[in-house]
Structure 1
Amino acid sequence: MSTPDAEDVPWYERAVIYQIAVALFRDTTGNGTGDLCGVAEKLDHVKELGATAVWLQPFYRTPDLDGGYDVIDHLEVSDRYGTLDDFDDLMARAKDLELEVIIDLVVQHTSVGHPWFRAACRDRDSRFRDFYIWTDEPHETIVEPIFPSVEDSVWTWHEEAGQYYRHTFYSHEPDLNLANADVRDEIRKIMEFWLERGTSGFRVDAAPYIVAEAGRVEGHEDGYWFLEEMRRTVQRFRADGVLMVESDVDPEQYADYFAGGDRVTTLLNFWLNNYLFLALARKDAAPLRDALEAEPVPPEGCNYAIWLRNHDELDLERLTPAEREETMAIFAPHPAMRAFGRGIRRRLAPMLEDPRQRKLAAFLLCALPGSPIILYGDEIGMGDQPELPDRAAVRPPMQWSRDVNAGFSEAHEIQLAHPVITEGPFSYAQVNVEDEIGDPDSLLRTLRTLFAIRRDHGPHLASSARPVALPQEQVFAVRYSDERSTSLLLANLDPQGTTVTLPPDLQRDWKQIVDDQPYEDLVNGEELALHGYGYRWLRIEQA
């Protein structure tokens, strides 16, 4: 199959994206909270890792009851994180390093402290009253609580307003009424504000709920049309601007989000993420191979984004209940490791106890079609803090060195936004950037190599990905082909070594690009060796 030349592919299809929680990355003021200046200071690390873009989690004004996703002012930087000038300086530094910057767009809800909500509660006749969704009596809706163990209803009574307001997420995050044209106009203004400051686009939080609300607008059968409006807003400032949406839905709905390339540019691929962990749990490639075959190829100019872990629980809702329990039994055997009845509140490294398996997972991140996203700290194998509640468990401060507070902050430990990890195998004395830079066998150095290989050998486009079934069920294999070359990537999901039997059409004179350890066997025969949790990246130039 013919695929575009690398130079013809939009930047986001070639991207390696580094996800940053500003509050937990680097504190330059000594107040215990990370800031925008700290992000700018550490962008060299991001660049050297091989990332080409950063995704900044919310840095807006917030009471910070939900990791910054409870916004008070979308057009202001929280004074805990700095100023708009600091943001502009960060953008300038990113431009110097040729890094794209994607920011979170949180417009499904606001904080109860947002001026819109306060005005809506004070006066039923205020124009802001219709910015939110109200009822005199709670009633059944298609919206259900996202956090059922925390909120038992989507309706909460507000004494001053004299009505119940709806909230899909926490009760301190009232849902915006996107059926109101004034709300949609405010969203456009928010997008324009940050695009004018040079951002490369947005990661759209809670996209399915935005679509559902926009579907209530008269004259529209569904709400996907609003994604087209958002895309046009981005394109007015930058033709190749990205609209990356959080949409945990089944593949049958992907076409509605892409719309032939007119809506979403990048879809966060929860489907493949879920079946990757089922495959790891079973040590069987079939779930991952079948999931890859089942998802549609994105239209031209669109792609998937893939990841291993993010800042939330590892949500396994795409799996069947039996598959979900099977995966949790391996990676979250204790109830305290689980969240909301659907996910795992652990970081990647503690879930994958064998260091070889962590490197294998890094290889899979680069082997699967789409733009890899790596959460801050996962490049060094940071741990989690199960003693903290809910999703806070997977949000420790970044571990830069063995210095006080892991080099994250010079503040007293009681001032820290989150406590640093001080004990056990994932303490900052054991796991940190400074030590791993000097260790050629470290996870950090492995990821640097893998990202460099991915950059040098072109993007892995979904249009050219072909999963390969092998007699060895524990080995995941995927083939990529274009007019110039063919790549074959092999990953052994089992801790025991094996010998791979290649099908006749793949028994070729391969050149080895990268592997987990040196292999002695030739690569032009019928069989190839793989170590336990081993991997090999093979390539051949077309005649």
Structure 2
Amino acid sequence: MTGLRLEGRVIYQLDPATFFDSDGDGSGDLQGVLRHLDHVRAVGADTIWLQPFYVSPYLDGGYDVVDHCGVSARFGTMADFEELVERCHQLGLAVLVELVVQHTSTDHPWFRAARADPASPYRDFYVWAAEPGDDPVVSEPVFPGVEDSIWEYDEVAGMYYRHAFYRHEADLNVGHPAVRAEIGKIIRFWLERGVDGFRVDAVPYMVRQAAVEDGRDDGYWFLTELCAAAGDAPLMGEVDAPPEQYRDYFGAGDRLHAVLDFWVNNLLFLALARGDAEPLRRALHQQPEPPRNGTYVNWLRNHDELDLERLEPNERDEVLATFAPEEEMRAFGRGIRRRLAPMLGDERRIAAAQAVIEALPGVPVVRYGDEIGMGDDLSLPDRAAVRTPMQWSDDENAGFSKARPEFVEPAPIEAGRYAAARVNVADQELRPGSLLSRVSQLVQQRRELGPLPMRRCEAIPFEARSVLGVLHHRDHDAVLMLVNLCPDEVQVQTQYAVQADLLADRTYASAADGEIQLAGYGYRWLRVQPDG
């Protein structure tokens, strides 16, 4: 799938470690992903985003990499990976993998060589200081309360090394030419094995580090180089930054091809908390238009905490009070460590939130388990609460593994409202009107509509403030996507001539006269004449 364009596609994000255990050792693996590609296709996605499967001590979900070009034995072999990619392509699925090069594990051979010998060429691969102090790249630990400093003293090196994230993850000096050469090798290695594109981890930190070494273009030259190394493979960047900076990350289409949009994500949860679409309309109005070959990526929840740093303090407090009223539900003083379903509760509301993601311009993401309304395990530390195994059935270990339960870690959710006995794929596949069936309908309809770029859409206000309206202009018609964010039934009036209902949460009366009914947490997609 060379020359893959993300616009018009739907991404399914999964962690091989928690998707399916094919060999009964208690941990998910690549063969487990391969065996359940039919589920990804049934959901309607045409792209999978694989979280790390590289060689790693696995102290940070595999983001602490020891070998960027190796498959960890816990996940299988390189042959397993190549078989997975081949099968994905046979099914029409593109494959995105993680490019984790802001840091390495401190067990990485580069770091071991760097700490052992000050004359080693690898010493310059990392960021060192004789004494801890202020840093132009990282002002404070990413995980306050877990790490109290960005500096860690290494007794062998006799110096401090910087770590924006955990102390077992040393920051790479990506401004150094030899480091960038190694990154290029990593990119080419995976492209040669059939990978279609990359999700680039921790992008802003790398841009700032590049600027320390070479101040050209405030360090964004690093992304131009990265894009050139990737050729026609798309780069999807993790960019938790203010929206006014997005244009710099896109460049003229020669840097990132897609930006994971934390701005819209944050204001989406503010809108959900208020039952008011205004924050989302504001987000879309203030969001810079991407270049022609660029797009935004939208999601509800991911594998990390729900980071609310883009909100004003009073807005953040409002979202926390609504969706994380107890301290154990919060993380790092800035976010929420819960899955989507426990936050929203009502299955109609969960479906409405999924309808919002599918209605927004850009590329939607469905995270494994959210299509069935999986819950979280708050007894697990930090972000591990939202990283429990996929619930395939009501069998032992949620159908995830045939290992003895004591060997499955983390364990599936077995108690409460979101226990596997109550929430699982097998049950919802057979039940009309289930959350799985509704999400699949939304995803499949979205894909049938094709690309819905931001430059051809507008957010429509209604007198009923709870209704989000997004009008997508196409060549000969337009699609009006409506979602009601409150539990009360509403009626809205549109000036556009309605031609047909494309999708709705239930059967509604005709909207030919421009009067549109929406149930509580209802959604409705209509084909309209944009000129009224």
Instruction: Determine which of 324, 332, 338 is the counterpart of 1:340.
Output: 332
Residue 20 of structure 2 corresponds to residue 26 of structure 1: yes
Match of 2:146 in 1: 150
Instruction: Determine which of 183, 188, 196 is the counterpart of 1:187.
Output: 183
Contact 1:10–1:301 under 8 Å retained in 2:
no
Contact 2:20–2:33 under 8 Å retained in 1:
yes
Q: CA deviation at 1:338?
A: 0.3
State how far apart, in whole Å, the 2-side matches of 1:99 and 1:510 are: 33
Match of 2:247 in 1: 255
Q: CA deviation at 1:540?
A: 3.0
Q: CA deviation at 1:541?
A: 6.0
Listed as ranges, the matches of 1:153-232 within 5 Å are 153-218=149-214, 220-232=216-228
Match of 2:515 in 1: 527
The amino acid that maps onto 1:345 is R
Deviations 1:468-524 (A, max 9, x none): 01111111111011222111111111101111132x3x2x1331111111112x212
Contact 1:23–1:417 under 8 Å retained in 2:
no
Match of 2:404 in 1: 412
Match of 1:444 in 2: 436
Listed as ranges, the matches of 1:133-532 within 5 Å are 133-142=127-136, 143=138, 144-218=140-214, 220-235=216-231, 239=232, 241-502=233-494, 504=495, 506=496, 508-520=497-509, 522-532=510-520
Residue 144 of structure 2 corresponds to residue 119 of structure 1: no
Q: CA deviation at 1:296?
A: 1.2
Instruction: Determine which of 61, 75, 81 is the counterpart of 1:81.
Output: 75
State how far apart, in whole Å, the 2-side matches of 1:167 and 1:11 are: 34
Contact 2:45–2:443 under 8 Å retained in 1:
yes
Deviations 1:342-381 (A, max 9, x none): 1100000000111110110111111011111111111111
Match of 2:40 in 1: 46
Give the TM-score taking structure 1 as reference length: 0.95
The amino acid that maps onto 2:162 is R
- Quickly say closer, same or farther: Cα 1:509–1:156, change in 2 above 3 A: closer
SS of 1:104 mapped into structure 2:
strand
State how far apart, in whole Å, the 1-side matches of 2:205 and 2:35 are: 36
State how far apart, in whole Å, the 2-side matches of 1:96 and 1:435 are: 28
The amino acid that maps onto 1:531 is A
Q: CA deviation at 1:10?
A: 5.8
Q: CA deviation at 1:542?
A: 7.5
Contact 2:260–2:298 under 8 Å retained in 1:
yes
Deviations 1:169-195 (A, max 9, x none): 000001001121111111110111001
Match of 1:5 in 2: none
SS of 1:183 mapped into structure 2:
helix
- Quickly say closer, same or farther: Cα 1:219–1:246, change in 2 above 3 A: closer
State how far apart, in whole Å, the 2-side matches of 1:47 and 1:242 are: 21
Match of 1:3 in 2: none
SS of 1:440 mapped into structure 2:
coil
State how far apart, in whole Å, the 1-side matches of 2:322 and 2:96 are: 34
- What number of residue pairs does the alignment pair up? 527
Deviations 1:70-90 (A, max 9, x none): 001101111100111110110
- Aligned-pair identity in percent equals 52
SS of 1:292 mapped into structure 2:
helix
- Quickly say closer, same or farther: Cα 1:366–1:218, change in 2 above 3 A: closer
Contact 1:18–1:373 under 8 Å retained in 2:
yes
SS of 1:28 mapped into structure 2:
coil
Give the TM-score taking structure 2 as reference length: 0.97
Contact 2:372–2:436 under 8 Å retained in 1:
yes
The amino acid that maps onto 2:149 is S
Contact 1:271–1:318 under 8 Å retained in 2:
yes
The amino acid that maps onto 1:179 is G
Q: Runs of 5+ in structure 2 lacking a partner?
A: none
State how far apart, in whole Å, the 2-side matches of 1:211 and 1:229 are: 11
